[in-house]
Amino acid sequence: MQYCLDTSVYIQAHRNYYAFDLAPGFWIALEKLATDGVIISPIAVHSELVKGKDDLSAWAKSQNSKLFIDPDNNVNLVLSQIANFTNSRYADAHWIRDFLSGADPWVVAQAKAHNLTVVTMEGHKTTEEIDKSSKLIRGKIKIPNMCDHFGVKCVTTFDLLRALKIGVG
């Protein structure tokens, strides 16, 4: 495995540029990459995807055994480190809860624990706002920034496709 995909990769592809009827090659490529052990997503990503009642939800359900994996002890250990870091370095309780309750920390933990590259379509904050009095980071917690904090490489879907030379037509 080389890449750990975030929920946003699937959702944005499905809703925007790689809909099942427009670019079936994208989804076929993901299935092959999962079978070949090149990509994975934490089971928490699967949980977010299957909440819907659409083609993406059905597709995610059909991929469960190949693509979506349960955390191991190393991932759980890193997740604990991420939770501790988030609680001690970020200021806004609602953003902390939002981040820690979803799949995002699992994606970063999986990548850190197994030396994978995170793939996300989430934007990177070029600078994080620091509260002057508390010295804590304010605002929404973004995967690319958390990857920076933990030394994890982070790329977009398009970077992944280019790196693996995958056409999706």
Quote the radius of gyration of the chain (alpha carbons, Å): 16
DSSP secondary structure string for all residues of 84-108? HHHHHHB--HHHHHHHHHSSHHHHH
Is 105 a member of any domain? yes
29 falls within a domain: yes
- Identify whether residues 20 and 83 lie together within a single domain: no
pLDDT at res. 124: 83
My answer on whether 41 and 54 are in the same domain is yes
Q: How many angstroms separate the CA atoms of 118 and 108, rounded?
A: 7
Distance CA(49)–CA(5), nearest Å, equals 12
Please tell me whether residues 80 and 110 are part of one structural domain: yes
Task: Establish if 58 belongs to a structural domain.
Answer: yes
Which pLDDT score is estimated for 165? 86
Contact (Cβ atoms closer than 8 angstroms) between residue 139 and residue 128: yes
In a domain, 168, yes or no: no
User: What confidence score (pLDDT) does residue 113 get?
Assistant: 98
Q: Which two tokens stand for residue 65?
A: 């055994």
Please enumerate, as own/partner, the contacts of 126-131 that have beta carbons within 8 Å and a separation of 24 or more: 131/91
Pairing of strands 117-119, 39-42: unpaired
> Tokens representing 133?
């009095």
- The whole-number pLDDT of residue 64 equals 65
Considering the domain architecture, whether residues 40 and 85 belong to the same structural domain is answered as: no
pLDDT digits (tens), the chain, 169 positions: 699 999 999 999 999 989 999 999 999 999 999 999 999 999 999 999 999 889 999 999 998 678 999 999 999 999 999 999 999 999 899 999 999 999 999 999 999 999 999 999 998 888 888 888 888 888 899 999 999 999 999 999 999 999 998 876 5
What integer pLDDT is reported at residue 129 of this predicted model?
A: 86
- Asked if 51 and 99 sit in the same domain, the reply is no
Could you list the residue range(s) of the whole structural domain that residue 10 is in?
Answer: 3-69+156-163
145, 122 contact by CB (below 8 A):
no
Number of domains in the chain: 2
